[in-house]
Amino acid sequence: MTTGEHTMADAAAMRRALELAARGPARGVNPRVGCVILSPHGDVLAEGWHRGAGTPHAEVDALAKLAPGAAEGAVVVVTLEPCNHTGRTGPCAVALIDAGVSRVVYSVADPGDHSAGGAERLRAAGVDVTGGVLAEEVEAMLDDWLFAARHRRPRVTVKWAASLDGRAAASDGSSQWITGPAARADVHRRRAAADAIAVGTGTVFADDPALTARAPGGEFFDAQPIPVVFGRRPVPADAALTRHPHAPVFVEGADLAADLHELQVRGIRSLFVEGGPTLASAFLAAGLVDELLVYFAPVLLGGHRVAIDDLGIATITDARRFDFAAVERLGDDLLVVAHPRPTEGN
Q: DSSP 3-state assignment of 332?
A: coil
d(CA 110, CA 87): 15
d(CA 295, CA 334): 6
- DSSP secondary-structure letter at 112? -
Beta bridge partners of 105: 77, 130
Asked if 242 and 248 touch (Cβ cutoff 8 Å), the reply is yes
pLDDT value at residue 178: 86
Instruction: Please tell me the number of Cα atoms within 13 Å of 265 on its side-chain side.
Output: 8
- As assigned by CATH, the class of the 153-340 domain is alpha beta
Active site residue: 59, 81, 274, 291, which one? Answer: 59
The Cα-based distances of 35 to 55, 101, 224, 264, 335 in angstroms read 14, 13, 29, 25, 40
Query: In this structure, what are the phi and psi dihedrals at residue 182, rounded to the nearest 5 degrees?
Result: -65, -40
pLDDT value at residue 2: 42
Asked if 108 and 139 touch (Cβ cutoff 8 Å), the reply is yes
Beta strands in the chain (DSSP E): 34-38, 44-49, 75-80, 103-108, 128-130, 155-163, 196-200, 226-230, 249-251, 270-275, 291-297, 322-330, 333-340
Per-residue pLDDT of the chain (346 residues; tens, 9 = 90+): 345 567 888 999 999 999 999 999 988 888 999 999 999 999 999 999 999 888 999 999 999 999 999 999 999 999 999 998 776 667 899 999 999 999 999 999 998 766 678 999 999 999 999 999 999 999 999 999 999 999 999 999 999 999 998 888 877 777 778 899 999 999 999 999 999 999 999 889 988 999 999 998 889 999 999 999 999 999 999 999 999 999 999 999 999 999 999 999 999 999 999 978 899 999 999 999 999 999 999 998 888 888 888 888 889 988 889 999 999 999 999 999 999 998 755 5
pLDDT value at residue 225: 96
Beta bridge partners of 200: 230
The Cα-based distances of 74 to 9, 100, 299 in angstroms read 13, 8, 66
Asked if 101 and 75 touch (Cβ cutoff 8 Å), the reply is yes
Query: In this structure, what are the phi and psi dihedrals at residue 334, rounded to the nearest 5 degrees?
Result: -120, 135
d(CA 299, CA 176): 13
pLDDT value at residue 346: 52
pLDDT value at residue 117: 86
pLDDT value at residue 147: 95
Q: Structural domain boundaries of the chain?
A: 8-149, 153-340
344 is catalytic: no
pLDDT value at residue 18: 97
Sign of torsion, CA 229 269 308 209?
A: negative
- As assigned by CATH, the class of the 8-149 domain is alpha beta
